[in-house]
Structure 1
Amino acid sequence: MQSTIAMQACDLRQIDEDPAFASRLEKLVSLSRERHINTFTQIEWPDFLPDDQWWLPPELLSVYGTEHAETMPEQQLKLLSKWECINQFSLNVEGERELLSALSAQLYAPDLPHIDTYIHHFIDEENKHLWFFAEFCRRYGGKVYSSKKVNVAGERFCREMEFFLLFARILIFEEIGGYYNVIAGGDERVTPFVRMIHQIHHADEARHITFGRTILSQSKEIAFAAADPAEREAAVAHLQRYVQISIESLYQPAMYRDSGIEAGVALRRKLLSHPARREHHVSRLLKRPLKFMNEIGINLEGQTL
């Protein structure tokens, strides 16, 4: 039988009762209210976006740093940037749809009653993101790409670990999106409307990332104290798999096909194993989330990255 002290060490209510955490939540709620944007009415949608402009900077393309980028003409790269943008925004549609469902399930949990107000703002902002990313993809790509996600069926964790893994997945997802937002949103080569979408998204996501880092810092030790050794190992493996699938989803074969590039599946395979791309994943794209997870004691740098 667990001692009272051990049981308290595994209790998520410790987070809710922390004055520093409460202060951070209050600040995030205040910022969400001050910076609220009604994207349903405030975005003016152009009739079309030209294919002969950059939709993503060339440095964000999946072929960057490889011989494939060197041999493709600029117009081909610009067309690829369109479909890579559609893929990236499609990933946001899928990710935020799942995120909304998972966040809603956290509302009014008895062990964390004081996060509800900010979670409502979080859901409101993600709902708007879901809408404008889907609207963008349908208007300018005629489709929303589908992709596979981590299969969590059959995996069961204690409440504390489930909570930690949820916000770990959200943070990784948003840090990857944030990397694209910051670079594409600040690059004047990118067509202005696409740049604006990245800027709008980043304005909210910066707060979500702050929240995610705060709650993960608070909940990591609680989750790992509540779990047995096998569950801890499974949790780390779960996140490593999530990171890997998140990377693989950026190399959507359909976006190569839609760009007029043949043998998209073969190209995807070559790019995922290319040393320059692997280096990009670790040193740039995933640099912030991998560093943060390391700081809280979790190494996610699997061999396949």
Structure 2
Amino acid sequence: MSSSTLRPKSQERPHEQDVARRLLDSAAVLAYDPATEVDWETPLDKDFHGASPEWSTLYGTAYWNELTDAQRKELTRQEAASVASTGIWFEMILQQMVLRDIYAKDPTDARFQWALTEIAEECRHSIMFARGAQKLGAPAYRPHRLAVELGRVFKTVAFGEAAYAAILVAEEVLDVMQRDWMRDERVVPFVRTINNIHVVEESRHMKFARDETRRRLRGAGRIRRQINAFVVAVASYVIVTSMVNRSVYANAGLDERRAVDEAKANEHHKSMMRSSCSGLMEFLASAGLLTGPALFFYKRANLI
């Protein structure tokens, strides 16, 4: 029997149902409606940043030191909007993979019901991110064409542990950033609220993704782990390198070419990414998904 097939409940380990039940209980008690929780009416206050400045791709560079306070704030607003837009793109991939995973399975299963709950939350998050980016005064940032097409292939063919591990990587990277942003009083209040909502609800999604990754890998052989490790690493590289669209610099009034060059060489930002992902890398290693070829892509993405 395939590891992705739901077994009769009598044959399942109690833990397999318990995790999903606890997540359903949590969602019933602690869930948000961004339409009413976020202050959409107050005009954007440009005295605030869009994200913690330390998370800017230019923070610590010579170019950053030349910028005025107003330019720095506009840059972080554009970068936050780009991260939100990338989040929407991946959430749409996530929803399709999860729906395909539970298609025609037992609707009385707690994991089935949790999967639908997660999809509902992701739909609300995508709308929230879209409205947030619009309020930040940003255009519709999209990943480059190659990333879009690779995402189209990935959402169609990825299954089992490859799908859930990739979901986990994307969610964990966003989570670490947003935990900083939501506590930072320099960040515009409505963005802090958006980040708080996302962090609270995504913590459930990450728990499920970790549990499903472990469950699907139970009994997996070396070749299967090698293949999935490579697929997840490539997907992670594409997602992470698509977070900040190069157009943010021109839209913030900067020299795009110079900004891109300095951002690529920015050791501070690389260090922020690596330190924030240490726990994630430990999990992937424990799951046997941190192979040599996978490490190449994680290093290129500055995740390790």
Correspondence 1:283 to 2:275: yes
Asked if the contact 1:251/1:268 (under 8 Å) is kept, the reply is no
Partner of 1:68: 63
Label 1:211 to 1:265 Cα distance change in 2 as closer, same or farther (>3 A).
farther
Note closer, same or farther for the CA distance 1:35–1:11 as it changes in structure 2 (3 Å cut).
Answer: closer
1:260 pairs with 2:260: no
Q: 1:108 to 1:47 in 2, by over 3 A?
A: same
Counterpart pick for 1:34 among 29, 37, 41: 29
2:235 is matched with 242
> Retained in 2: the 8 A contact 1:12–1:111?
no
Q: Structure 1 residues 154 and 258, CA, compared in 2 at 3 Å: closer, same or farther?
A: closer
Over the matched positions of the two proteins, sequence identity in percent amounts to 21
Corresponding letter in the other structure for 1:287: S
- Does residue 301 of structure 1 match 2:301? no
* Deviation at residue 249 of structure 1 after TM alignment: 1.4
Q: 2:167 aligns with which of 170, 193, 196?
A: 170
Query: Per-residue displacement from partner, 1:240-270 (whole Å, max 9, x unpaired)?
Result: 22222222113311111101111x2453244
What is the TM-score of this pair, normalised by structure 2?
0.84
| More divergent stretch after superposition (72-81 vs 25-34) | 72-81
Pick aligned residue for 2:39 from 44, 58, 72 = 44
Which residue of the partner structure matches residue 180 of structure 2? 183
Gaps of 5+ in 1: 1-6
CA contact (8 A) 2:51 2:76 kept: yes
- Say yes or no: does 1:120 pair with 2:113: no
CA RMSD of aligned residues (A): 2.8
Deviations 1:37-81 (A, max 9, x none): 232344331342122311111111111233333332322211101
Deviations 1:266-302 (A, max 9, x none): 5324423443333332222x22322211121221432
Contact in 1 for aligned 2:143/2:242 (Cα 8 Å): yes
Measured in 2, the distance between the counterparts of 1:81 and 1:15 equals 50
CA distance in structure 1 between the aligned counterparts of 2:98 and 2:154, rounded to whole angstroms: 19
**Retained in 2: the 8 A contact 1:12–1:219?**
no
CA drift of 1:205 comes to 0.6
Which residue is equivalent to 2:203? 206
**Residues of 2 paired with 1:275 and 1:96: CA distance?**
29
Aligned to 1:129: 125
Q: Distance in 2 between matches of 1:218 and 1:99?
A: 18
Q: Give unmatched runs, 5+ long, in structure 2.
A: none
Separation in structure 2 between the aligned mates of residue 40 and residue 11 of structure 1, nearest angstrom: 35
The verdict on how the C-alpha distance between 1:241 and 1:15 changes in structure 2, with shifts beyond 3 A counting, is farther
Whether contact under 8 Å (2:91, 2:126) holds in the other structure is yes
CA distance in 2, matches of 1:261, 1:298: 40
Q: Quickly say closer, same or farther: Cα 1:265–1:111, change in 2 above 3 A.
A: farther
Distance in 2 of aligned mates of 1:43 and 1:237: 39
Give the 3-state SS of the residue equivalent to 2:119 in structure 1. helix
Per-residue deviation at 1:164? 0.8
Query: How many residues in Structure 1 have an aligned counterpart in Structure 2?
Result: 290
| Paired residue secondary structure (2:247) | helix
Structure 2 residue corresponding to 1:21, chosen from 7, 12, 16: 16
Distance 2:203 2:154 in 1: 30
Partner SS, residue 141 of structure 1: coil
* Partner SS for 2:186: coil
Q: Is the 8 A contact 1:89 1:134 kept in 2?
A: yes
